[in-house]
């Protein structure tokens, strides 16, 4: 047999086939989450930046409108007719009134640092400022600027602000209007325009600033991140190309140009700050998860080698020897593994029976009858094994160890009961406990969707009955009634009751199994009530046929089983209190 055909290969390959998609999904999920975070952060800051730039441009626009309104102001008109050369006191009063008004207006136009007026006729300039601490430097720079402007003239009217620098001071934006030799203007600090943007959360290594078209910073804040060569070069390219967002080499750079000046607002955020919580998960994904998978796989293989592969190989070798006619072969029984211990014990028993198979025709007939009864008695739905194991696996995967312990105890008691197949009868109390184990297992599976109620009179607990006489009916209720029940918000309920028989209470008790499901299908119910049993219709109705067969073998015509519908399916078992000695199975 090829290795790939072996059970060992199939189990290991199946385990890897199960784990690989989960690991790949985790990797894909991490990459996808990282990209989503980048995109959302970029969109968020881009929107914030656009709104803030829009607000700043609106303030600058309003300031420009103020300057244009000042051209028609009576005091400005007075300056055009008055002269400083004549030492006119009215000229001085107008200057003082304008300075006072400018000082008040700077409180309203809170982004404006300075308002100024220059008279080219008298070469006289005065201004009102609220933020600058370099009064002399401001006065000198504005006088020089307005003097040159008066000589060259203001270009055609423009709605844009110009960049303006003052030695030993910060960078400004300046706007000037002219009327009959009177120049009116305003200065706005670039740092003031960047004030709201600087409050954005960009991390300790991020920066918010303003640059000119050449990418040179116009703000005075320290910009260590901008000293990165690739960041600075990309900023220059973004200002030239008009791009607003760039995310490469672990930096997110966002820019928004001002529409009324030649400046660009910038935000630089390191990717490590954007994804500050993801590096831990990335390390888990790329380092710890593969390591854990490798360790779990190794332990899994060692575990399988001990509890499954080795006993299975020994069992196969023993069967081969038995097939070769060596009937004296015996398998060691490992008490640590109940399933393989049962298989080894069964193998040894089978070999012993084959070796000692010397019986007469009567004993052979009795053995056939016993084998039939035992076969009927231990038939169970194999899907229950698989579903139970799947539940254990899922609970273990969720690390719900208390539920795993609870389920394991119920499963152990459930299977322990099934292994007592040699018993002909047992007390009703044992059968009820077995049913409770089964229902508790199902409740762990279905949680709040399944409820049950058992009301058995204490005097009936000692009544003897065939093992697994009631449990298959309960199982059928779960399999057929639970899944077909109309979803009305109420849980599926199973009730088990006992009562004395109304006609012969000294000879019989009545056990009732009922549920609130849809009940038996009418054609099937009619066949049950008429005595036509689905003996050849497969697993769907094998349990009912099994019970009726065993009941007939054990009790003959005494008692009986009745099927009906009410609010759900109802099964009534009329059970004899004293069992006739019609059929006995030797107990060992």
Q: Specify if 583 maps to a domain.
A: no
Same domain, 181 and 302: no
Same domain, 133 and 207: no
* DSSP E strand boundaries for 216-351: 245-248, 251-257, 264-270
Q: Specify if 83 maps to a domain.
A: yes
- CA dist., res. 555 & res. 559, Å (int): 7
Containing domain of residue 242, as a range? 3-56+194-276
- pLDDT value of position 535: 47
- Which SS3 state, helix, strand or coil, does residue 154 take? coil
- Which SS3 state, helix, strand or coil, does residue 175 take? strand
Same domain, 143 and 102: yes
User: What tokens does 213 get?
Assistant: 């078209």
Strand order in the sheet with 182-189: 124-129, 112-119, 182-189, 171-179, 162-165
Does residue 61 register a pLDDT over 80? yes
Contacts of 477 (CB under 8 A, 6+ apart): 494, 513, 515, 517, 569
Q: CATH number for the domain including 110?
A: 3.30.450
Same domain, 214 and 166: no
- Which SS3 state, helix, strand or coil, does residue 498 take? strand
Same domain, 297 and 244: no
- CA dist., res. 106 & res. 86, Å (int): 31
**pLDDT class of 536 with cuts at 50, 70, 90:** very low
More confident residue, 24 or 309: 24
Kindly state the DSSP code that residue 269 receives in the 8-state scheme.
E
β-partners of residue 562 are 572
Lowest mean pLDDT among 39-43, 50-54, 161-165, 236-240: 236-240
DSSP string computed for 403-451 = HHHHHHHHHHHHHHHHT-TT-S-EEHHHHHHHHHHHHHHHHHHHGGGEE
Q: Specify if 350 maps to a domain.
A: yes
Domain boundary among 276, 306, 335: 276
Q: Specify if 140 maps to a domain.
A: yes
Q: Specify if 585 maps to a domain.
A: no
**485 in Cβ contact with 516 (< 8 Å):** yes
Angle, helices 382-397 vs 401-418, to 10°: value is 160
- pLDDT value of position 337: 57
- pLDDT value of position 62: 92
Same domain, 374 and 497: yes
Q: Specify if 117 maps to a domain.
A: yes
Same domain, 272 and 287: no
Same domain, 386 and 514: yes
Does residue 371 register a pLDDT over 60? no
- Which SS3 state, helix, strand or coil, does residue 533 take? coil
Q: Which of 113, 101, 108, 111 lies closest to 59 in space, CA to CA?
A: 111
Lowest mean pLDDT among 136-145, 157-166, 279-288: 279-288
- pLDDT value of position 420: 62
Q: 421-459, pLDDT tens digit by residue? A: 556 788 999 999 989 988 888 888 787 888 999 999 999
Q: Specify if 477 maps to a domain.
A: yes
- pLDDT value of position 158: 65
- CA dist., res. 56 & res. 62, Å (int): 10
- pLDDT value of position 228: 66
Using H for helix, E for strand and C for coil, what is the string for 286-310? HHHHHHHHHHHHHHHHHHHHHHHHH
Helix (H) or strand (E) holding 455: strand 450-455
Same domain, 347 and 459: no
Q: What average pLDDT does the segment 261-265 reach? A: 88
- pLDDT value of position 495: 95
Q: CATH number for the domain including 381?
A: 3.30.565.10
Q: Which of 571, 411, 415, 574 lies closest to 496 in space, CA to CA?
A: 571
From the CB of residue 574, how many other CB atoms can be counted at a distance below 10 Å?
18
Phi-psi map region of 258: left, alpha, beta (phi>0 left; psi -120 to 50 alpha): beta
Q: Specify if 36 maps to a domain.
A: yes
Q: 565-588, pLDDT tens digit by residue? A: 988 899 999 999 887 655 554 444
Q: Which of 153, 204, 162, 543 lies closest to 376 in space, CA to CA?
A: 543
Same domain, 159 and 17: no
Cα dist. 428→457, 514, 563 in Å?
11, 18, 20
- CA dist., res. 574 & res. 576, Å (int): 7
Same domain, 406 and 513: yes
Number of domains in the chain: 4
Q: Which of 485, 492, 455, 468 lies closest to 544 in space, CA to CA?
A: 468
**584 in Cβ contact with 366 (< 8 Å):** no
Same domain, 181 and 210: no
**pLDDT class of 513 with cuts at 50, 70, 90:** very high
Q: Which of 194, 199, 176, 196 lies closest to 186 in space, CA to CA?
A: 176
What percent of the chain has pLDDT above 70?
A: 79
pTM of the model: 0.46
- CA dist., res. 507 & res. 569, Å (int): 26
User: What tokens does 165 get?
Assistant: 């620098």
**pLDDT class of 484 with cuts at 50, 70, 90:** confident
Q: What average pLDDT does the segment 222-251 reach? A: 70
- pLDDT value of position 361: 41
Q: What average pLDDT does the segment 505-519 reach? A: 92
Domain boundary among 276, 307, 342: 276
Q: What average pLDDT does the segment 451-479 reach? A: 89
Please report, in angstroms and rounded to a whole number, the separation of the first and last CA atoms in the chain: 40
- pLDDT value of position 359: 39
Domain boundary among 358, 373, 397: 358
């Amino acid at each position: 047999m090829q290795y790939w055909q072996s059970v060992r290969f199939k189990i290991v390959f199946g385990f890897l086939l199960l784990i690989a998609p989960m690991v790949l999904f985790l990797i894909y999920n991490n990459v996808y989450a990282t990209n989503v975070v980048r995109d959302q952060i970029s969109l968020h800051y881009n929107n914030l930046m656009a709104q803030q730039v829009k607000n700043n441009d609106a303030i600058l626009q309003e300031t420009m409108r103020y300057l244009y309104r000042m051209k028609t102001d009576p005091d400005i008109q007075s300056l055009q007719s008055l002269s400083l050369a004549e030492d006119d006191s009215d000229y001085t009063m107008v200057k003082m009134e304008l300075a006072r008004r400018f000082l008040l207006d700077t409180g309203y136009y809170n982004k404006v640092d300075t308002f100024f007026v220059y008279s080219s006729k008298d070469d006289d300039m005065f201004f009102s400022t609220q933020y600058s601490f370099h009064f002399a430097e401001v006065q000198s720079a504005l006088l020089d600027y307005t003097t040159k402007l008066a000589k060259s003239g203001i270009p055609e009217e423009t709605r844009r602000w110009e960049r303006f620098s003052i030695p030993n001071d910060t960078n400004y934006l300046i706007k000037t209007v002219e009327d009959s030799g009177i120049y009116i203007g305003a200065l706005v600090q670039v740092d003031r325009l960047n004030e709201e943007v600087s409050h954005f959360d960009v991390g300790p290594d991020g920066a918010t600033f303003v640059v000119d078209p050449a990418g040179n910073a116009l703000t005075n804040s320290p910009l260590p991140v901008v000293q990165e060569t690739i960041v600075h070069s990309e900023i220059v390219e973004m200002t030239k190309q008009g791009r607003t967002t760039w995310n490469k080499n672990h930096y997110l750079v966002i820019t928004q140009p001002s529409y009324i000046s030649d400046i660009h607002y910038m935000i630089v955020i390191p990717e490590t700050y954007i994804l500050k919580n993801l590096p831990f998960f990335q390390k888990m994904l790329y380092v710890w998860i593969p390591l854990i998978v490798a360790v779990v796989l190794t332990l899994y293989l060692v575990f399988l080698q001990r509890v499954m592969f080795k006993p299975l190989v020994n069992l196969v070798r023993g069967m081969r020897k038995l097939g070769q006619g060596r009937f004296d072969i015996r398998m060691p029984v490992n008490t640590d593994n109940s399933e393989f211990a049962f298989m080894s014990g069964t193998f040894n028993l089978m070999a012993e029976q084959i070796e000692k198979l010397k019986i007469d025709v009567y004993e052979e007939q009795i053995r056939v009858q016993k084998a039939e009864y035992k076969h009927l008695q231990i038939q169970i739905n194999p899907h229950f094994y698989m579903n139970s194991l799947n539940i254990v696996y899922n609970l273990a995967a969720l690390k719900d160890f208390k539920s795993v312990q609870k389920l394991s105890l119920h499963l152990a008691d459930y299977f322990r009961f099934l292994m007592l197949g040699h018993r002909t009868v047992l007390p009703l109390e044992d059968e009820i406990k077995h049913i409770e184990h089964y229902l508790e297992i199902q409740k762990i599976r279905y949680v709040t969707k399944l409820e049950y109620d058992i009301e058995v009179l204490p005097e009936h607990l000692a009544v003897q009955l065939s093992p697994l006489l009631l449990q298959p009916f309960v199982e059928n209720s779960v399999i057929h009634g639970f899944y077909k029940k109309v979803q009305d918000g109420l849980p599926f309920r199973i009730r088990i009751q006992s009562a004395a028989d109304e006609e012969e209470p000294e000879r019989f008790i009545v056990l009732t199994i009922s549920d609130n499901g849809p009940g038996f299908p009418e054609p099937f119910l009619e066949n049950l009530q008429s005595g036509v049993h689905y003996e050849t219709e497969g697993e769907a109705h094998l349990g009912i046929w099994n019970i009726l067969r065993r009941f007939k073998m054990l009790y003959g015509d005494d008692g009986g089983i009745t099927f009906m519908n009410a609010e759900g399916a109802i099964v009534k078992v009329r059970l004899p209190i004293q069992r006739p000695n019609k059929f006995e199975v030797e107990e060992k």
